[in-house]
Amino acid sequence: MTSDETFDESCLFCKIVAGQIPADVVHTGERTVAFRDIAPKAPLHVLVVPREHQPNAAAIAASNPAATADLITVAREVAIAEGYDDYRLVFNTGAGAGQTVFHAHVHLLAGGDLPFAAG
Catalytic residue positions, numbered: 105
Count of Cβ atoms closer than 10 Å to residue 97 Cβ: 11
Going through 1-119 in order, the beta strands assigned E by DSSP cover 25-28, 32-36, 44-50, 88-90, 106-110
Residue 53 buriedness (CB in 10 A; 0-12 / 13-18 / 19+): buried
Write b or e for each residue in 71-92: b if 16 or more Cβ atoms lie within 10 A of its Cβ, otherwise e. Answer: beebbbbbbeeeebeebbbbbb
Report which DSSP code applies to 26.
Answer: E
